[in-house]
Structure 1
């Protein structure tokens, strides 16, 4: 790596002020950023750690029933503290990465990075979550803007995630065994407004909603409802782990499994 300044502010205001410096970079659990620095793929002048700010940590349930999670909350804490109010989200969090990643990585860091194979983007999109920052509230449908791209602006910090709890939900992940990332992951959530299906790991455009499956499942919430559907393989990722056709096939298979598991 190379020389850079490091700050660990104790309040959100201090963090915002520190990030105002030229080429400053926020640091959550560091599970993506630190390897990037080691490979010299990023060169911030200052790292601003968000791990010492109490208001950015923890899980609670709002008056409207939504599960609220601080942006600097590690995956392991989400798995433990969200288990009662949102079991599907907690189960998903418990299976993110290896023990080091699960204990150090944060939900806010994952969503800010928006890796195309990360699990949390599918949970946020399927649940209809709200990404709250120090500046505004962003609906999940407006937040994700392509591979590694989000609606976040310079100096904007994810302070909280608000997850409405669906009537039924399940997440199915076909895991790449070396990285523990999703080769394909499908999160299905059924609420009074209908069914939302979010897919991660499959597309070169990042996480996406499968509208055709949503329409079918809103009419008939069963695995049979998606048995005749297909996903266009054209935008799917093509790498040594799977072809576009293979990933498109997995999307349908995992959606059906998630529906079965949910209901």
Structure 2
């Protein structure tokens, strides 16, 4: 299918972008276009105006601000995958980036676009939930900072208001006590996830867990936090039994939608196994390699 007709304008700076968006209630923002263009082609979206913000250089920076890593909305997925600061201070993000689609898409897609799209099957929203990230947005009225848990909604919905742009994401920088894990299942590498999980945790000098959280992939109508996971982990030197109980607690109420990839029960089991593997990775527990080997 072909997209519906629309006007197109390139914004040279944020003020111009705000003015263009505010002048047209049906305007949408485009940067990398890796999520929006398919929606246009399927006519799931029909804006009257596309505002291209890809040339606003100030939105591309990745930098450390104190103990926080700030990632500009126009950083490409491939930047997240390869940037030295991300690898040092937010290795969970770097690891998740390698699971995003295919290299051609990672070279074009933007970090802010993936966040604003709010796809429940996407990797970055789950990671931001796990890390307790803050989404920075701006409009002509000023700047807002919103916790990831409050930013993501249901079925591609966010707390973004019309005329407002995601400009950056702030994640807490890791240190020697930071632990993380990531696991995802897809029929082929780069396909949409059947299920997955991102885990972010901290341990003290004795190895006791002092904080733990997780984001789940394809677990509900929107990006999904693993509620109450920490109740089975905090205050313990985490064991396999602790991890199993944490998985049971976090997945007991999940009802992922059945689709061509499997029933709701199957996908819930996949999410649970993903979470178990991510927890084992984070806390250095034994793992099983299921890859096929030659006879």
Q: For residues 1-263 of structure 1, what are the structure 2 equivalents within 5 Å?
A: 1-22=3-24, 23-63=26-66, 65-81=67-83, 82-134=86-138, 135-166=143-174, 167-177=178-188, 180-191=191-202, 194-203=211-220, 205-220=221-236, 221-228=238-245, 229=248, 231-232=251-252, 235-263=255-283
Distance 1:178 1:262, change over 3 A: closer
Larger Rg: 2
Distance 1:185 1:76, change over 3 A: same
Question: Shift of the alpha carbon at 1:212?
Answer: 3.4
Q: What secondary structure sits across from 1:190 in the alignment?
A: strand
Distance 1:223 1:57, change over 3 A: farther
Q: Distance between the aligned counterparts of 1:197 and 1:241, measured in 2?
A: 23
List per-residue Cα deviations over 1:181-224 (Å, max 9, x = no partner): 22111011113761111111122x22222223221122333442
Q: Distance between the aligned counterparts of 2:17 and 2:112, measured in 1?
A: 15
Question: Shift of the alpha carbon at 1:68?
Answer: 0.8
Distance 1:219 1:93, change over 3 A: same
Deviates more, 1:126-135 or 1:166-175: 166-175
Deviates more, 1:167-176 or 1:210-219: 210-219
Q: What secondary structure sits across from 1:199 in the alignment?
A: strand
Q: What secondary structure sits across from 1:105 in the alignment?
A: coil
Matched residue count: 261
Distance 1:178 1:61, change over 3 A: closer
What is the root-mean-square deviation in Å for CA atoms of aligned residues? 1.8
Q: Distance between the aligned counterparts of 1:57 and 1:107, measured in 2?
A: 10
Q: What secondary structure sits across from 1:138 in the alignment?
A: strand
Distance 1:58 1:169, change over 3 A: same
Question: Shift of the alpha carbon at 1:177?
Answer: 2.1
Question: Shift of the alpha carbon at 1:84?
Answer: 2.3
Deviates more, 1:85-94 or 1:227-236: 227-236
TM-score, normalising length from structure 2?
0.83
Q: Distance between the aligned counterparts of 1:191 and 1:211, measured in 2?
A: 17
List per-residue Cα deviations over 1:68-112 (Å, max 9, x = no partner): 100111100111111222222112112211122111111111111
Question: Shift of the alpha carbon at 1:179?
Answer: 5.6
Gaps of 5+ in 2: 204-209, 284-295
Question: Shift of the alpha carbon at 1:178?
Answer: 7.5
Distance 1:13 1:237, change over 3 A: same
Q: Distance between the aligned counterparts of 1:234 and 1:137, measured in 2?
A: 29
